[in-house]
Structure formats: C-alpha cells, structure tokens
Structure 1
Amino acid sequence: MIFLSSVLLGFVIASSGSIVPSFLNLTVVKFSLKSGRKSALYLIGGFATVLFFQANIGAYLSSILMKNSEYITSIQKVGTGILLLLSLNFFRLHFTTKKLKKKKEIDKSKAYLHGVGMSLLNTFAIPFYFTSISFLIGLEYFEYSFLNSLYFSIGSTAGSFSLYALYAKLAPKIEEKLTFIATKMDLILGCLTGVVGIGNLLYLL
C-alpha cells in the first residue's frame, strides 16, 4: 500500500508539474519538430534519468532543510543566477539564428546526453520536489524514508516521461501550426527563464 501511494503521489505531482510550460517541455516540442519523435524520446530519457535523482534529492532535502532555511536561500541564489544566464543564452540563440533548420535526425546518444545536460540545468526540479514533498509531509500524506523516496522517484520519473512523451507525440501532428512558434522557441524560452529568474531575484532582494 505504501509502495502504491508513494508511486501514485510521485506520478501525479511530476505530471502536474510537467504540464506547466517550461524550458524542458518546450525543448521537447522544438526537438521533436527538428529531429523527429524517436530522437525526442531519447531526449526525454535523458530528462527522466536526471529527474529520478532530482526527486530523490528533493525528498531528502525536505526531511532536513525545513529547519535550516538559510540553506534554501543559498540554493535559490545559485538557481537564480543560472536562470538568468540561461535566459541570456536563449536570447542570443534567437537573435543569431536566422531561420528554422530543416528536420534532421540527431544521433540517439547525443539526444540522450543533450537531455541529461538540459535536465541538469533545470533549477526548478529540486525546489519543486522539495516544496511538494514538504507539503505532503505537513499533511501527513508522506513519511520520508529511503524506500518511500525511491518509490516516489519511480512514480515521478514515470509521470514526467509520460507527459513529455505526449508533447513529443503531438508536436509533429500539428507541425504547421507550431512552425511559427518553433521559430520563436528560443525567444519564448528566454522570456520564461528570464521572468522566473527576475522574480526570484526580486524575492531574494
């Protein structure tokens, strides 16, 4: 029963978080349009690998950092800096890329490693899981232990993979409608990361 509840909680929380527009799911759409669904699934596999460990870390931190808020502030400061750097990079890509490249299949190992790298840069994940699990602990729906954290991470990995795979599957079917958006994807990603980064900066100040 504990196994099922932990997996289900992880699945629901991760899939809910993945629905919200972010640079990860927008990257999946962009990747699917440019490189095809198969490569996009390897990209998502890279996401999922890192997300599994990020969920574990978030669960672990939720059992420790609730009494040490100064560490949370330090994490937020580092994350804010990374977000602002990402935003600048996406704006650079938007203004230096002249047109959308034709669809070109990318090597699966490169797609997977690209997914790992992008997910490592995702500063939302650990704070998201930390906050969500802390909330569940407060409501007494979740009790931290190594096994419970493992079960939760399995569920969250499955939830994230399912939602991102849905994005990859739907993108080619509406490719014509998404072509214009895809050409502006770096701009959208830059705006998203910039807004969140500036919001975090204002909060910290």
Structure 2
Amino acid sequence: MSIITSFFFGLISAIIGIFPPGLINMTAAKVSVTDGRKRAMVFVLGALIVIFIQTYISVLFAQYINNHNDVVILLREIGLAIFTVISIYFLFFAKEPKPILNKKKIQLKSKRSRFFMGMLISAINFFPIPYYVLVSVTLASFKLFTFNDLSIYSLVTGVVIGSFSVFYCYVVFFEKLKTKTDYFIRNMNSIIGIITGIVAIITLLNVLDYYFNEV
C-alpha cells in the first residue's frame, strides 16, 4: 500500500510542480512547434533522465534530514518563514505578470541533439531538488511515505511519469493550452500566494504540534 501511496504522491507533486509554464515545458512546446513532436519527445526524454537523478538525490537527502529530528524542525521553521514571506509578497506586493506565450521569448539557437538539450536545460533547473526534499520530508512527517528502497523508487517513478504527462500535454496540446496558460500567468501571483499560504499554515501547525508534544 505504501508503494502505491508513494507513487501517487510522486505523480501529483510532479504535476503540481511542473504544470506552471517554465523553461523546460515551454521549450518542449517550442521544439514541438519548430521541429515536430518526435524531436520534442526526444528533448523530453533527455529532461526526464535528469529529473530522475535529481529526484532520487533529493529523496536520499530528505532521508538524511528525516533521521535528524533537529534538522527537520529547523527546516520547517525556515520553510514557515519563507512560505509566509512569499505568500504576503505575491498576494499584496507583486506586480501582475504579462502573458508571454504570444511573444518570442524562447529561442532555440542550438541545432545539436534535442536529447542533450533536454538534459542541459533540466540540469540548470535546480528547483526540483529543494522541492522534492520538502515533499519527501513533509510526506514522511505525516506517515504517508517511508524511506525504504521500494517506496523511494515508487515515489521517483511517480515523479518521472507525472513530469512526462505534463511535458506530453505541452508538446501535443500547446495551441489549445495557450489561452488557459495566459489566464494562469495573469493570475499567477494570487495562485502562488494562496498555495504558499496554505503550505505555511500546515507547516505552522506541524511546528506547533512538535513543540506542544515536547512540552
């Protein structure tokens, strides 16, 4: 059961983390438009290999953190402060972003293998490492994930499949997603602020629960 749960949360966390327009998925869409879907999928394959490695390293790092309770609490407190500041900023101070899909922001100058381009662009994106560390530690704190080999590989597999699903949607349905993506970008500040606010509240409750139990 824990294997299925780990896979499910890996899948969902990947979809949530990758669905917003970003460098990798937007480049995949651009490759699809300029070079065709086959080359775009080759690009995606390269990106997925790096995502697999990044996620696996993240979970191993999270396992170390989870075995040191003082580090876990410290990270939760730091995370609480960061999520609170981010939530306040995006809800009250951030300027409204402008749609970018109809502008030529992404230019693919390289004619090299799209596979290695996918690996390169994915490698310079460091967001997955802290993101999946946080996901793993949070799931473990709620007893929804255990750090054994089967659960780890199940979570990583879920992340890879979830990532592929999002990339595939961008590659195949890019034109249909344009309107919805523009809407998402216009409302990105509010969406990010609400999500980080919810995470901050959950983190606060978790920290308070720890201190109350210590007392």
Partner of 1:161: 164
Q: Which runs of 5+ in 1 are unaligned?
A: 73-97, 182-187, 189-205
Report what 2:139 is aligned to. Answer: 136
For 1:33 and 1:13, how far apart are their aligned partners in 2?
A: 27
Tell me, yes or no, if structure 1 residue 21 matches structure 2 residue 24. no
Whole-angstrom distance in 1 between the partners of 2:39 and 2:128: 23
Distance 1:99 1:137 in 2: 39
State the distance in 1 between where 2:131 and 2:46 align: 19
Rounded to whole Å, the distance in 2 between the matches of 1:151 and 1:22 is 25
1:181-192 equivalences under 5 Å are none
Question: Which structure 2 residue ranges, 5 or more long, are not aligned?
Answer: 76-103, 186-215
* TM-score (normalizing by structure 1): 0.63
TM-score, normalization by structure 2: 0.60
Q: How much has 1:34 moved relative to structure 2?
A: 1.8
Report the alpha carbon displacement of residue 64 of structure 1 after superposing the two structures with TM.
Answer: 1.2
Q: Whole-Å Cα distance in 2 between the matches of residues 133 and 99 of structure 1? A: 34
Q: 130, 145, 154: which is aligned to 1:151?
A: 154
Among all aligned residue pairs of Structure 1 and Structure 2, give the percentage whose two residues are the same amino acid.
Answer: 27
Instruction: Give, in angstroms, the shift of residue 2 of structure 1.
Output: 2.4
- When Rg is computed on C-alpha atoms for both structures, the one with the higher figure is 2
Indicate the residue corresponding to 1:64 in structure 2. 64
Query: 1-side partners of 2:138 and 2:106: how far apart?
Result: 42
Amino acid at match of 1:40: A
1:15-73 superposed Cα distances (whole Å, 9 cap, x missing partner): 1111122211121122222211111111111111111121111111111135458xx8x
Contact 2:2 2:146 in 1 (8 A): no
Contact 2:2 2:144 in 1 (8 A): no
Once superposed, what is the RMSD of the aligned Cα atoms?
3.0
Distance 1:62 1:100, change over 3 A: closer
Q: 1:121 to 1:99 in 2, by over 3 A?
A: closer
Aligned length: 147
